[in-house]
C-alpha cells in the first residue's frame, strides 16, 4: 500500500513552484498598474509649428490638447519642451463629468490665401475656447473645433482680405452664424457650447465672444494690467434680457446673485424644464426660438508696441476660481521672470490643480496662453 504522505510531498514541489510563479506574475501586474497610474495620462508635448505645415489645411495647423496634456507650440524644436514661445494649451476633465466637454485650439500662423502667397506674412493666429454644456455639449464643442477654423478662413478668403475692421468683424459674425446653421440637430437639441475666439491679423486683435468663457489681453510690464476682456454673456444683463423677453423667453434671476440667472425652457426633447446659464451660445436649438443667439460680440483692439503682451483664453472653470487680475499677475510672473519661461508649461497644470483640487471642484478647466 503506497504511502499517501510521501506522494503528497512529491507532488508539492511543482505546486509550490507554480504558486511562486503566480505570485511573481501578480506582483508584476500590480507594479505595472501602480506605475501607470503614477505616470500622467498625457505628457507634455512640444510641437514645431513649421514641421506640420505640409500636412495641414491651407489656413494652418490646428493644435489642440488631449486630456490632462499641456501642448506647447514653438517655431523651432530648439526651444525647451516647457517653453511657451508661441502658445500653451491645457485641459483637465472635471471629476463629476463622464467626458471632458471643453475644447480649445490654436492655429499659428492662421493664413488667408493672400497671406499664404505673400513673402511678407503678417503675424497671425486664431485661438478659441469652446466650453460644452448639456448632455451632448461635447459633441457641439467638437463640431465647432473642427469646423470653425475652416469657416473663418472661407469668409476671409471670399474677398481680398482684409479691407477694413468693420469687414473683418462682419466676417466673424457671419462665421458664427454659419457654424450655428450647420450644428448637427441631434447634438444641438441636447447641448451647446460657448465660443471665445480671437483672430490676429497684423497688429490688430479681433475678439468674437458668445457665452461665459472669457479671453483677456494682458500687458505684463511692471504691474500686470488687463487691458481688455470679453464679457460673460448672462441673461440678466439689460441688453440680453430685453432681447430674450422680447422673444417671449423667461429669465430666472436669483435676488441674491444675479450672475446665476438662467433662461428657462421646457425642453420637449428632455421632457423637463431646464435653465441655460448664458444668453449667447452655439447649439442649444430649443433656446434659439426665444432669443438666445449664436451671434458674438466682436471687438477690435490694436496691439501696442510694447514687450510682454499675451492672451489668456479659458473656460469659466478658471474664471470662477480667481479674479482675472490675479491670473494676469500670476501668468506674467511665470512667463517673464528670469528662467521661468522654461517651466511655464510645467507650472500651468500644477497651478490649475492647486486652485481647483480634483476632489473639490467638478467643472472642466481649459486654458490657452498665447504670447504676442
Short-list 88, 91, 90, CA closest to 79? 88
What's the chain's average pLDDT?
83
Q: What is the pLDDT of residue 30?
A: 44
Residues 294 and 291: their CA atoms lie apart, in Å, by: 10
The cell numbers describing 278, all together, are 448664458
Q: Given a cut of 60, is residue 274 above it in pLDDT? A: yes
Residues constituting the chain: 372
Sheet with 262-267, strands from edge to edge, namely 250-252, 262-267, 272-276
The cell numbers describing 110, all together, are 492662421
Specify the pTM: 0.83
Residue that the C-alpha cell 490665401 belongs to: 113
Q: Which of 56-60, 69-73, 320-324 has the lowest mean pLDDT?
A: 69-73
Q: Where are the domains of the chain?
A: 42-232+281-371
Short-list 278, 364, 355, 272, CA closest to 317? 364
Q: Write the pLDDT tens digit of every residue in 124-149.
A: 999 999 999 999 999 999 999 999 99
Residues facing residue 196 across a β-bridge: 129, 209
Architecture of domain 42-232+281-371: 4-Layer Sandwich (3.60)
How far is C-alpha 260 from the geometric centre of its chain's CA atoms? 22
DSSP H helical ranges for the chain: 4-38, 113-117, 137-157, 165-181, 185-188, 238-246, 285-288, 316-319, 324-336, 344-355
Amino acid at each position: 500500500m503506497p504511502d499517501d504522505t510521501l506522494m503528497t510531498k512529491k507532488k508539492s514541489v511543482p505546486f509550490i513552484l507554480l504558486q511562486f510563479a503566480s505570485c511573481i506574475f501578480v506582483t508584476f501586474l500590480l507594479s505595472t498598474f501602480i506605475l501607470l497610474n503614477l505616470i500622467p495620462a498625457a505628457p507634455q508635448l512640444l510641437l514645431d509649428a513649421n514641421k506640420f505645415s505640409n500636412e495641414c489645411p491651407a489656413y494652418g495647423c490646428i493644435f489642440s490638447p488631449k486630456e490632462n496634456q499641456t501642448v506647447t507650440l514653438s517655431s523651432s524644436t530648439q526651444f525647451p519642451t516647457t517653453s511657451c514661445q508661441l502658445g500653451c494649451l491645457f485641459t483637465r476633465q472635471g471629476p463629476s463629468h463622464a467626458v471632458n466637454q471643453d475644447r480649445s485650439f490654436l492655429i499659428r500662423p492662421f493664413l488667408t490665401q493672400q497671406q499664404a502667397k505673400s513673402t511678407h506674412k503678417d503675424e497671425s493666429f486664431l485661438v478659441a475656447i469652446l466650453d460644452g454644456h448639456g448632455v451632448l455639449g461635447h459633441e457641439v464643442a467638437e463640431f465647432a473645433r473642427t469646423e470653425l477654423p475652416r469657416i473663418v478662413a472661407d469668409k476671409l478668403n471670399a474677398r481680398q482680405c482684409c479691407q477694413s475692421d468693420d469687414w473683418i468683424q462682419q466676417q466673424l459674425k457671419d462665421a458664427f452664424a454659419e457654424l450655428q446653421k450647420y450644428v448637427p440637430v441631434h447634438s444641438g437639441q441636447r447641448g451647446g457650447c460657448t465660443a471665445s475666439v480671437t483672430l490676429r491679423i497684423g497688429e490688430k486683435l479681433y475678439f468674437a465672444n458668445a457665452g461665459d468663457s472669457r479671453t483677456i489681453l494682458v500687458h505684463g510690464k511692471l504691474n500686470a494690467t488687463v487691458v481688455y476682456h470679453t464679457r460673460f454673456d448672462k441673461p440678466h444683463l439689460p441688453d440680453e434680457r430685453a432681447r430674450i423677453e422680447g422673444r417671449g423667453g423667461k429669465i430666472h434671476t436669483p435676488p441674491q446673485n444675479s450672475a446665476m440667472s438662467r433662461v428657462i425652457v421646457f425642453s420637449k426633447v428632455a421632457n423637463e424644464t431646464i435653465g441655460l446659464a448664458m444668453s449667447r451660445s452655439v447649439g442649444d436649438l430649443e433656446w434659439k426660438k426665444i432669443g438666445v443667439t449664436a451671434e458674438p460680440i466682436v471687438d477690435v483692439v490694436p496691439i501696442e508696441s510694447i514687450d510682454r503682451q499675451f492672451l489668456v483664453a479659458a473656460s469659466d472653470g478658471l474664471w470662477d476660481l480667481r479674479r482675472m487680475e490675479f491670473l494676469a499677475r500670476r501668468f506674467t510672473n511665470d512667463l517673464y521672470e528670469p528662467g521661468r519661461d522654461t517651466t511655464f508649461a510645467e507650472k500651468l497644470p500644477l497651478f490649475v490643480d492647486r486652485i481647483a483640487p480634483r476632489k473639490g471642484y467638478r467643472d472642466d478647466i481649459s486654458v490657452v496662453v498665447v504670447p504676442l
